[in-house]
Amino acid sequence: MLRNMSNFSMLAPASVSDYRVLAKRKLPRMLFDYLDGGAFSEHTQAENRRAFTQWCFRQRVMSDVSQVDTSATLLGAQASLPLVMAPMGLAGMLAKRGEVQAARAGARAGIPFCLSTVGICSAEEVARGVPGADLWFQLYVLKDRGFSADLLARAWQSGFKTLVFTVDLARLGLRYRDVRNGMNGNLPLPAKVRKVLDLVSHPRWLVDVAIGGKPLTFGNLASVVPSGRKPEDFKAWVESQFDPSVTWNDLDWIRQNWPGKLVIKGIMEVDDALSAINVGADAVVVSNHGGRQLDGAPATLSVLPAIAGAVAGKSQVLIDGGIQTGQDLVRALCLGADGCLMGRPWGYALAAGGQSAVEDLLNNIRLETELTLSLMGKTSIGQLSRSDLLSLAEVQAMSSRAC
């Protein structure tokens, strides 16, 4: 088995699952499980992926597909793909100054990068590292409105022009893997010893991140959470700041403090999508937080068509949850999305090989998108529609009629 794994590491990763294997080998278990896991039994996380397998492409032939355009306009800006690198907390613990490396990869690929409030690198550091890039900033609903306003001002002044406001964390979801690994700090002594042994058994990570990646602070929150080396400190502060009392009526202060584009992330119902538009959202993200919040919620792809239909012409509709390939991207576009956010895959690639690995992943996704469009007889993203897919039920009905 070890010989097989060694041979695998010599291969060029071809898929997200390849990067996942490499990330699992490099990262301490606590960090890999934080990246890889979901809430409770992780049912919704699995459903996010399964939903894409329920749709088949309609293959069309003998069309001129010598030139295929995968570009799109996202919130008024041109992108090489209708894809955004989703916000990911603690990305700077996956690789040395991880958020900067990831943002550089996104800029080279010609797609937006969204920085998480709880990233290791600050908005200022990311902006300095990727001048001129299409940078988005993500913010949670926090009790301390003054701190939030200051954070928004910092992001805007640094060059971030799009705000992604996450609304599905009234309370932090229960993630069993994080509990088992001591992300909340509550571990008996034997488990603490195993945790230390796990850290020292990953020397590449220790050299690259724990030593070479300093300072390990939550860059945007350094004044309130001084250390990024203690996830329990981060967790305690975040849980104390999430505001379970907030309603749509409380969001006026966002528009008062943010002059740029506004995206509301965490929408799973038509009524909530319409409410988001009423408070001034330029786009909504159909999202169940990657299955990390309400386990048992439906897959995002399953609710996308209804939401996209309800807000058509009023705002752009983005989706996250389960997007791993260019083919996933095409399926989502056919079902009404204007674009997709992708999180875990770039996290796996970042952990596996830093900026160059993320660049390779994004290039693979572009090629997958271009190839899929070609084999569907399409030459641009704008030509896609629901009629370009067949549900499994439709395929079965066709088979029955043929018989």
Active site residues: 289
DSSP 224-271: T---SS-HHHHHHHHHHHB-TT--GGGGHHHHHH--SEEEEEEE-SHH
Q: Is 346 strand, coil or helix?
A: helix
Q: Are 297 and 45 in contact (CB under 8 A)?
A: no
Q: Are 352 and 96 in contact (CB under 8 A)?
A: no
The single-letter code of the amino acid at 375 is L
Instruction: Name residues whose C-beta falls within 8 Å of residue 189's C-beta, 6 or more positions apart in sequence.
Output: none
Nearest residue to 167 via CA among 235, 69, 268: 268
Phi/psi-derived region of residue 131, left when phi > 0, alpha when psi is between -120 and 50, beta in every other case: beta
96/58 Cα distance (integer angstroms): 43
Q: What is the dihedral of CA 354, 102, 152, 147, to 10 degrees?
A: -20
Give CA 201 to chain center in angstroms.
28
φ, ψ for residue 230, nearest 5 deg: -120, 90
* Cα-based distances in Å from 341 to 17, 90, 190, 258, 325: 18, 17, 40, 22, 12
Q: Record the tokens describing residue 346, joined without a space.
A: 């770039």
Nearest residue to 316 via CA among 330, 333, 303, 301: 333
The single-letter code of the amino acid at 403 is C
Nearest residue to 379 via CA among 74, 70, 111: 70
Strands 389-391 and 55-57: antiparallel
Other CB atoms within a 10 A radius of the CB of residue 340 amount to 26
* Cis amide prior to 82 (ω within 30 degrees): no
